[in-house]
Each structure stands twice: as C-alpha cells, then as structure tokens.
Amino acid sequence: MNANVVLANVALETMGLPKGRYDKIDPHDDLNLSQSTNDFYPTSLKVAMLSYNQKLVPEVERLAASFRAKGREFADIIKMGRTENQDAVPITLGQEFDAFAAALEVEAAALRQAEEGLYVVNMGGTAIGTGLNAPKGYAAKCVSHLAKLTGKKIGLAPNMIAATSDLHAFAAYSGALRNLAAKLVKVSSDLQFLSSGPRTGISEIALPAVQPGSSIMPGKVNPVVAELINTISFKVMGNDVAVGFAMSSGQLQLDAYEPLAAIAILESQHLLIRGLAAFSTKCVDGIVGNRAICEEHFERSVGIVTALNPLLGYDKGTELAAEAIRTNKSVLQLVREQKLLTEEQIKKVMNVKALTGQQ
C-alpha cells in the first residue's frame, strides 16, 4: 500500500494536482485495483531475490576463477594431501586450489537452478489464491509483463491457493545459499589451516596481510578476510534456519511469517555479494605458495610410503612408516639405507605427475 500511495501522488503531481487529492486518483480504487498484499508481496520479493541472484552468481564464479588461476600458478608445487588432518598421499598445490574452484562452481550452478523456483508466482491470486476481484486475463498479463521486465521465465503457479501459503521456493533458494555458505566455511577454514604459522604451523601458503599487526603481538598477521567469510557464512546458515521456521509456521491459506523469510534471504544475498568480492580481491588473488615448505613436508612425510606399496607391499610399507616416525628419518632415506629399491626405481615412482594422478 505504501507503493500505491506514492504512485497515486506521483500521478497527481504529473496531472498538476496537489498530493493527497485521492478523490481524483485513489490509491485503493484506481491503483491497487486487483492486487492483494498476499499476491503482490511474495511476487515482488521473488523479483528482488532474482535481481540479487544476478549479482551473487557472478561473484561466486569470480571467486572460483581466482582459485583456478592459483591452480595454474601452483601447478608444479608438490606437497602432501591430508585426510583427517593426517598425511595422506601426494598432491600438487595447484590441484588443491583447482578442487576449491570446482567445489564453488557446483554452488554457482546450484544457485542458478534454485532461482528457477522463484519464477513461479501467485500474482493475480489476490487474497488466498482464488482470484477474487481480479478480472479475467489479469494474472496472465501480470506475469507476461514481469517476464519482460526481468528477462526470466516468470509464470503462474499451477495451484494459486497452494502458492499463496507455501514458502517452498523461498526455502529451496535459501537452502542453496546455506549450501554455498557451508562450502565457503570449508574452503576458508582450509586456507587458514594451510597458512597457519608462519614458523610453527603448516605455512604452505601465505595469505595477503590485509590487516597486519596486533595490539600486543608485533608483526602478527591474522587471516581476517577468511574469518570474515566464515562470519558471514555462519549468519547465512542461521538465516536459513529462520526461513525453515517461517515456512513451517504458516496457517491455512496464508503464511504470516513470509516477511521473516524475505528479510533473512535478502540479507544473506547482500552479505554474500559483498563478502565474496572481498574474498576474491583481498585474499585469494594475493595468495602465495610456499614451494620450499611444501616440498619439505612432502619429502619428510611418511605418506610417501603409499606410493611404494606396488613395489614393496603393504606390510613392508607399514614397517617403513613406523620406523620413519621412530627414527625421525624420511621413508626414502630408509629405503636407500636398506637398499630396497634402486635409484632408477625411486626416480620412476617419485615422478610428480605419476604421484598426483596426472599421467
């Protein structure tokens, strides 16, 4: 109704009449006409969410492209992969960053798919979806116009009564935002782990010093952008919980908690759009790979023994791994000391491309 009042007054001024002359143009009778809050409001919200999604998806894709670029830059840096934070098998730093990119591309595609649920509207259903007071053809003309305005395949719900009270499209789209947030927490937390140190942690990468220094520890640099992404993501996941409660709490032919769902989703979109832009430009684009430390970790890791299984067998590999840990020697050092393999065999099995599944 606020919009109707504004539009009525704009029309009055255009006609050279003073604001408030509703005897000439009435916000209800002349502008609202066939609309109800119950069809206009959710339809306008869906259009707003589609507009924000048009900004959000490119930011996700931009972040993925940043990781892809780093994947190419780090393609020849060998390191150890880790499962459950324990040494696993070799990987390149480039492969690790490529995997981050691929994981984010999945979420971008999911957002594009989830937005399709927002194309279905109940405009013209008026109060409860029966279309009372709407002239014949009104609903079809509304969605046709909205489709032209948005460039999206806006269409009418097959059951307007169900669409008036059901928040499925909101919940499904919010779920896609939640999944993106969960993925971002995983990726940003991995970056924090890989950059930990710099002297007493993993330190296989260095994040840009966006906010260097500490109030008490000189020279300390914290991973503030990665932490920002986690903070935003936690909020998005919390907002999704609110959307779920809103969806479940509607009664009969209307869900009075739709505004809560709208506030939650629009806030999540806004936070993610701004946060992802910062993540790309102020963090990922400036990451530096620490080749020397990656290679040192690789050479010292007992995980190398897995690559020797085909030549030495699992039992011997287990024995070598235990001895390497006990003596603080590398696996290859023990292999050479015990003359288990020739240098030619070692060279062949330690080929970077072979170790990392690239040949």
Catalytic residues: 214
The pLDDT assigned to 10 comes to: 97
Share of the chain above pLDDT 70, in %: 100
Q: What is the CATH number of domain 301-355?
A: 1.10.40
The pLDDT assigned to 349 comes to: 86
pLDDT category of residue 192 using cuts at 50, 70 and 90:
very high
Tens-place pLDDT, residues 68-114: 999 999 999 999 999 999 999 999 999 999 999 999 999 999 999 99
Average pLDDT over residues 189-201: 96
Residue 206 burial (C-beta neighbours within 10 Å; 0-12, 13-18, 19+)? middle
CATH among 1.10.3720.10, 1.10.10.10, 3.40.50.720, 1.20.200.10 for 37-290:
1.20.200.10
- Asked if pLDDT for residue 322 goes beyond 90, the answer is yes
Cβ neighbors of 267 (< 8 A, separation 6 or more) are 235, 239
d(CA 330, CA 18): 87
Average pLDDT over residues 309-324: 93
Q: Can you give the residue ranges of every domain in the chain?
A: 37-290, 301-355
Lowest-pLDDT range, 150-159, 192-201, 206-215, 310-319? 206-215
The pLDDT assigned to 353 comes to: 87
Helix ranges (DSSP H) in the chain: 2-14, 37-73, 93-114, 138-150, 160-165, 168-194, 224-248, 258-282, 291-300, 305-312, 314-327, 331-337, 343-349, 352-355
- Asked if pLDDT for residue 212 goes beyond 90, the answer is no
d(CA 53, CA 199): 41
Tens-place pLDDT, residues 40-75: 999 999 999 999 999 999 999 999 999 999 999 999
The pLDDT assigned to 218 comes to: 86
Q: What does residue 201 show for φ and ψ, rounded to 5 degrees?
A: -125, -155
d(CA 82, CA 303): 9
Sign of CA dihedral 204, 209, 211, 215: positive
d(CA 258, CA 97): 39
- Asked if pLDDT for residue 149 goes beyond 80, the answer is yes
Question: For all residues of the chain together, what is the average pLDDT?
Answer: 95
- Asked if pLDDT for residue 33 goes beyond 90, the answer is no
5-42: b (≥16 Cβ within 10 Å) or e: beebbeebeeeeeeeeeeeebebeeebbebbbebbbeb
d(CA 359, CA 343): 21
- Asked if pLDDT for residue 352 goes beyond 90, the answer is no
Instruction: Give the bridge partners for 79, in sequence order.
Output: 91
